[in-house]
Structure 1
Amino acid sequence: MIWELSNRADMKARLIADRHYNRQKIGSAQFVPPGRCLVLYAETRSGRAFWVTSWPFAEYVMHEWAGAWMCSAFRNEGAGVASEMITQAVAATRAYYGDPPELGMVTFIDRSKVKPTMVRGQATWGYTWQKSGFEYAGETKGGLLALQLKPDRMPEALAAAHTQLAMF
């Protein structure tokens, strides 16, 4: 497991979050939407990464995937193979929250902020996510690409490093 348990105000993770395209207030102490969340951080010899799973209460969600776990941020700055890191982050999310919601996990991609991967001559957004089992699920009203990982395609639960320390 490459990921270790972090928190919504972790300085190391915040510095990476400040470079993520969806960051709203660069430099603010917290970088996670309100509500339930899991923050993961990874640091290797070659780089760093952070991940945020948000689990907003369905009644406060305006898109059609209300109730799903949300990957609200993932940024890999050379810490490892992104598709493997996504798979491990989903496994850590399962270990942290238990059984996934019926809609599984969703992430949104702003195609105007992310470079596509060329796949067989086609510009493809979210290819790394697709390699991790996510599938095209539609678009938000604002035009973001929605990718979804259904529960039956999720990896088995595997706790992030230092998860036991969170109990103290």
Structure 2
Amino acid sequence: MSNRADPVARALADRHYNRQTVGAEQFVPPGRCVVLVEETARAFWVTSWPFPEFTKHDWAGAWICSAFRSEDAGGSIELVRQALAATRATLGEPPEGGLVTFIDHRKVRPTLMRNHPTWGWVWVKAGFRYVGQTKAGLLTFQISPNDMPSPMPAKQRLPLGLPLFGEVPA
């Protein structure tokens, strides 16, 4: 569990294709959010929960995975499932629309499935289904509340420089 200005997550966010202002201190859209950083700091996840009246897509009210990046952290499907569980533990019961994520197929490499380029393979394996496109052409994948894992709190991330449990400060 982290926050919208975590410097480690920000470095990963700066390398994500949807980053609007590289280097800006905050990397999360306005509103309610959950920010997670993988233990080795090679992956991060952001769940945004904008108020429906400020939403410009057809899935208003749903939670949104506004960023997920893994830099060889391994097990992306499991990372997605863990992030969903941590989001539920933090935000409570999911909205009726579950959680959606948007993929810009012009900026993401596809997975080859039987020599056919496929986008969203990790998402489908994690329980999402393709539900359409935004007006801007982003591919949209959604997971319903019934298909999400049970809530499981994430570990709290320590600020940089603090000892881990059991370590003695120098």
Matches within 5 A, 1:18-29: 18-29=14-25
Corresponding residue for 1:52?
Answer: 46
Whether 1:40 and 2:29 are equivalent positions in the alignment is no
- d(CA) in 2 for partners of 1:51, 1:130: 17
Corresponding residue for 2:107?
Answer: 113
Query: Which residue, 70, 76, 87 being the options, matches 2:81?
Result: 87
Structure 1, residues 126-164: CA drift from partner, whole Å, max 9, x if none? Answer: 00000000000100000000000011111000000028x
Query: Which residue, 125, 144, 151 being the options, matches 2:145?
Result: 151
- d(CA) in 2 for partners of 1:140, 1:12: 30
User: What is the Cα deviation at residue 75 of structure 1?
Assistant: 0.3
> What is the root-mean-square deviation in Å for CA atoms of aligned residues?
1.3
User: What is the Cα deviation at residue 119 of structure 1?
Assistant: 1.2
Code of the aligned partner of 1:59: E
Whether 1:16 and 2:9 are equivalent positions in the alignment is no
Whether 1:124 and 2:118 are equivalent positions in the alignment is yes
User: What is the Cα deviation at residue 121 of structure 1?
Assistant: 2.4
- d(CA) in 2 for partners of 1:136, 1:13: 27
Unaligned runs of 5+ in 1: 164-168
Identity value in percent:
61
Moved over 2 A (4+): none
Unaligned runs of 5+ in 2: 158-170
Structure with higher Rg: it is: 2
> How many matched pairs?
158
Corresponding residue for 1:31?
Answer: 27
TM-score (norm 2): 0.90
Q: Is the 8 A contact 1:138 1:147 kept in 2?
A: yes
Q: Is the 8 A contact 1:43 1:79 kept in 2?
A: no
Code of the aligned partner of 2:155: A
